Amino acid sequence: MRPLKGVFPPTNYPNLLVGLGAPDDSAVYQISESQAIISTMDFFPPVVDDAYDFGAIAAANALSDVYAMGGEPLMAINLVAYPDGLGMELLTEILRGGAEKVLEAGAVIAGGHTVTDKEPKYGLAVTGVVHPAHIMTKGGASVGDKLVLTKPLGIGVVTTALKRQLLDETYLQAATNTMKRLNRDAARLAREFGVRSMTDITGYGLLGHGYEMASASGLDFHIDLGKIRWLPGSVEYARQGVFAGGMYRNKSYYEQWVRFEGQVEEHYQHLLYDPQTSGGLLMAVAAQHAQALLERLLAAGDEAAIIGEVVEGTGKICCFA
């Protein structure tokens, strides 16, 4: 059931280029021959204890959907839920973290909205811009393309270990830095190298979001487990079974389109379903450009890797050891 399609038939809104058809990271509305507006939003409870870092992570995560469409953010609106009696000092730090991350992105925060809630939540509604001819959707991958992932995986495991008071503090900073890193440079390089299809890896994990790309492209993705980069500590905690409930929900839904070949241990399988917060971009790029793109990503500071390729198929994923 698609209730929005029932109320808003896509044929009645030809300028809405992305939003009522195939699912994607943001809505995109064309306003002229050379410009389209990107609209998205995201917010969630704290994933780290430090208020400033939480604000910066939530902002980077919300901005990422604009980058995933190949665009640049223009402005953002704060979205805040905050308990009575918690004090303004923490909220000030959350908002400062978000504001400085938006400033880093070259955008501006222009107001917001706050409600009272039992648990703090923070995020942004973001407006961006993209040329209509340069929109990067989840579909569009071609046979022979290489799959490039711009950040290491394992964020969900590490943040779950933190919530359960199991985390070795030496692992926290690497995870925090990864989540705070903007996908801006990676998105700009994607445009430069003619990336065909792209999404950001967030709540559905690599396999969930990878499936969305494969399905939208009508092709299969082959992923080489040995090429994936992992956050420090993530494999260790995965072996101990330190997973959030979202991993099991992702696995239950997406495993019908996934198969594993070779000796892929269960904890590695689970890591591929692990929900990410402010994860990297997954790109499908022509094979002849993949190595040059990778080198530029690494030079820009991204912990990127070529993790697989696109093959003939029907929208499924094969992961092999």
pLDDT at 96: 98
Residue 54's domain comprises 3-133
- CB proximity list for 39: less than 8 A, separation 6 or greater: 26, 27, 28, 29, 125, 126, 127, 128
> In this predicted structure, what is the pLDDT of residue 196?
85
**Domain count for the chain:** 2
Residues 57 and 129 occupy one common structural domain:
yes
Which of 77, 110, 133 is a domain's end point? 133
The predicted pLDDT at position 309 comes to 98
Q: Final residue of a domain: which of 133, 168, 189?
A: 133
Do 148 and 90 have their domain in common?
no
How buried is 93 (Cβ within 10 angstroms: 0-12 exposed, 13-18 middle, 19+ buried)? middle
pLDDT the model gives residue 6:
81
pLDDT at 223: 98
What pLDDT, in 10s, does the model give residues 150-209?
Answer: 999 999 999 999 999 999 989 999 999 999 999 999 999 999 999 989 999 999 999 999
Are 247 and 305 in the same domain?
A: yes
Q: Residue 1: what pLDDT?
A: 52
Residues 205-229 have pLDDT tens digits of: 999 999 999 999 999 999 999 999 9
Report the CATH number that the domain containing residue 231 is assigned in CATH.
3.90.650.10
Residues lower than pLDDT 70 in the chain:
1-3
Instruction: Give the residues across from 73 on adjacent strands.
Output: 128
Residues 142 and 185 reside in one and the same domain: yes
Same domain, 55 and 179: no
pLDDT in tens, 130-142: 999 999 999 999 9
Q: Give the per-residue pLDDT at 22.
A: 84
Give the residue carrying structure tokens 């030079």. 299
Structure-token pair, residue 76: 């953002």
The answer to whether the beta carbons of residues 62 and 42 sit under 8 Å apart is yes
Pick the last residue of a domain from 85, 118, 133.
133
Burial (CB < 10 A; 0-12, 13-18, 19+), residue 315, is: middle
Q: Are residues 211 and 255 in the same domain?
A: yes
Give the DSSP per-residue string, 220-270: EEEEEGGG--B-TTHHHHHHTT---HHHHHHHHHHGGGEEEES---HHHHH
Same domain, 96 and 175: no
Contact between 120 and 90 (Cβ < 8 Å): yes
pLDDT at 21: 84
Sign for the pseudo-dihedral over CA of 200, 206, 212, 218 = positive
106 plus 205 within the same structural domain: no
